[in-house]
Structure 1
Amino acid sequence: MKLSRCAGALSALALTAALALGGSGTAHSAERSSTPGYVALGDSYSSGVGAGSYDSASGDCKRSSKAYPALWAAAHAPTSFSFTACSGARTGDVLSGQLGPLNTSTGLVSISVGGNDAGFADTMSTCVLGTDSACLDRIAQARTYIQNELPAKLDGVYSAISSRAPRAQVVVLGYPRFYRTGGICAGLSDTKRKAINAASDHINSVIAKRAADHGFDFGDVTTAFAGHELCSGSAWLKSVALPVDESYHPTAAGQSGGYLPVFASAA
């Protein structure tokens, strides 16, 4: 999805501004080459914000050589690789600025999107800096959006992908649960942590349903990240970080140990 040793030093405005996350039918393997042309779309969870090693040419999109799309491409040498995922991307940004490389010869597409549409940045900053009540209220707003408005926006993106790349296998990646629950977690109550995790489960369920209805594969990363949530002692996610836009994003280990195996097993 475009904060707790130093949370008190950061304003809600700064966090909200900086935290942005960052076809019909799946093609059968016989219909594509073993190393098809691959296009990686989506938000910061696909561009690799938080993993470091950013391509300077990608600017604010912060595309990382340690992100799962780049790691998969390096290991499998697809016939072509176009990496257009961008920090902060919403569904409308994917439609307006990321679909150019798709064509009838594209064999594989990956995408993560929806968290920014649902207000990821504002929700996280509210929960980190506000009361339990304020956090729960903001999460309730986000979940109403996820349930009622996000499905149509995902449909628009998924339909556009199918139209431009009708023979491609499309793998839609979800989002991890952010926190280990129970016990003590500096800066965040268990009430907040449980509500944030439940919201992550909710958006994943909506994304998975829309993906399935378009004939796409869904990559659920929650199991891969189990035991590596924030406050687990072995986190694959950053908490509050500098630069702030890397907060609440997978580390390089989260990309290679969490996202990459899930994507590779589907692709």
Structure 2
Amino acid sequence: MPHRPLARALAALVALSTAALGALLAPGTAQAAAALNYVALGDSYSSGVGAGPYDPSTCLRSQKSYAPLWAAANAVTSFTFPACGGAVTSDVINNQVGALSTSTTLVTITIGGNDAGFADVITSCRFGSTSSCTNAVNESKAFATTTLPGRLDATYAAIRNRAPNARLIVLGYPRLFETGSCGLLAMSTYKRTILNEAADVLATVISGRAAAAGATFADTRPYFAGHGVCAADPWIRDVSGVIEAYHPDADGYRYGYLPALNAVTG
């Protein structure tokens, strides 16, 4: 008889715990907790230029880019893909953030390279003299450290304004080149070296502004190490295609960008 009150108390505690667990696992609650509404913004390194094949739009979006690959692997609730080849920060603000809402829970973006004159710098170095390459790289680095930070801040703020409940992940750009022997028709080691140094400056700037915005920065450079142009197994295209030149190929997005994104999403 003395043990019955204790037994009744234990039974009541078990019943209460079971009810609480049931409430946590109720279908509506579980579905709400699992909702993953993903929007992928950015430029050609987000849209998948270099991977192909592309959708009918002028944005050169490929399902082999890192964003659709991640979405497919993580069974997202919704996936929206307004990233567009050639985009600069103002394009994201004016044409892409409209895809965001208060229900958006994840945003990824790669942006800033075109603002810093990526295409012009590469062209100067690939087809111009050493001095023209050096000048172009120095101008791009100066822009990246003086003007680009404000543009990135405005872009991240626009994203936060439209998607206040979302996690923002900013993915950087890889170094494009290996600096070893690369044949007679390749860019010189010097040109490839200063282009990689410019990529490092860009990564530093983007990482710093992402941190200031409370975003997560995913550095892609370690994942592409040993797979740049001039590597035995390159994941970056050379001048094989005018539009696709110096962009990741399908392996670059799958084995370079996707693991970088996975490393910060868990």
TM-score interval for Structure 1 and Structure 2 normalised by the shorter chain: 0.7 to 0.9
Aligned residue number for residue 87 of structure 1 = 85
1:171 is paired with a residue whose SS is strand
Q: Give the C-alpha shift of residue 234 in structure 1.
A: 0.6
Aligned residue number for residue 227 of structure 1 = 226
Mapped contact 2:181–2:230 kept (Cα < 8 A) = no
Aligned residue number for residue 174 of structure 1 = 172
**Superposed CA offset, 1:221-241 (max 9, x none):** 000001101101110010002
Q: Give the C-alpha shift of residue 106 in structure 1.
A: 0.6
Identical aligned residues as a percent: 48
Mapped contact 1:35–1:76 kept (Cα < 8 A) = no
Query: Counterparts of 1:236 and 1:144 in 2: how far apart (Å)?
Result: 28
Question: Which 4+ runs in 1 deviate beyond 3 A?
Answer: 32-35
Aligned residue number for residue 259 of structure 1 = 257
Q: Give the C-alpha shift of residue 33 in structure 1.
A: 3.7
Aligned residue number for residue 5 of structure 1 = none
Residues 1:49 and 2:49 aligned together: yes
**Superposed CA offset, 1:163-194 (max 9, x none):** 11111111100000011113344320111000
Q: TM-score, normalised by structure 2?
A: 0.85
Query: Counterparts of 2:256 and 2:33 in 1: how far apart (Å)?
Result: 26
Residues 1:73 and 2:71 aligned together: yes
- The residue identity in structure 2 corresponding to 1:39 is V
- The residue identity in structure 1 corresponding to 2:180 is G
Mapped contact 2:47–2:65 kept (Cα < 8 A) = yes
Query: Counterparts of 2:76 and 2:230 in 1: how far apart (Å)?
Result: 37
Query: Counterparts of 1:231 and 1:137 in 2: how far apart (Å)?
Result: 23
Which runs of no fewer than 5 residues in structure 1 stay unpaired?
1-31
- The equivalences for 1:57-68 within 5 A come to 59-68=57-66
Q: TM-score, normalised by structure 1?
A: 0.85
Query: Counterparts of 1:49 and 1:260 in 2: how far apart (Å)?
Result: 15
- The equivalences for 1:18-33 within 5 A come to 33=33
Q: Give the C-alpha shift of residue 34 in structure 1.
A: 4.0
Q: Calculate the aligned-residue CA RMSD, in Å.
A: 1.1
**Superposed CA offset, 1:72-103 (max 9, x none):** 11111211111000000000000000011211
Mapped contact 1:35–1:77 kept (Cα < 8 A) = no
Aligned residue number for residue 12 of structure 1 = none
Corresponding residue to 2:118 among 117, 120, 123: 120
Mapped contact 1:40–1:84 kept (Cα < 8 A) = yes
Larger Rg: 2
2:99 is paired with a residue whose SS is coil
1:100 is paired with a residue whose SS is helix
2:38 is paired with a residue whose SS is strand
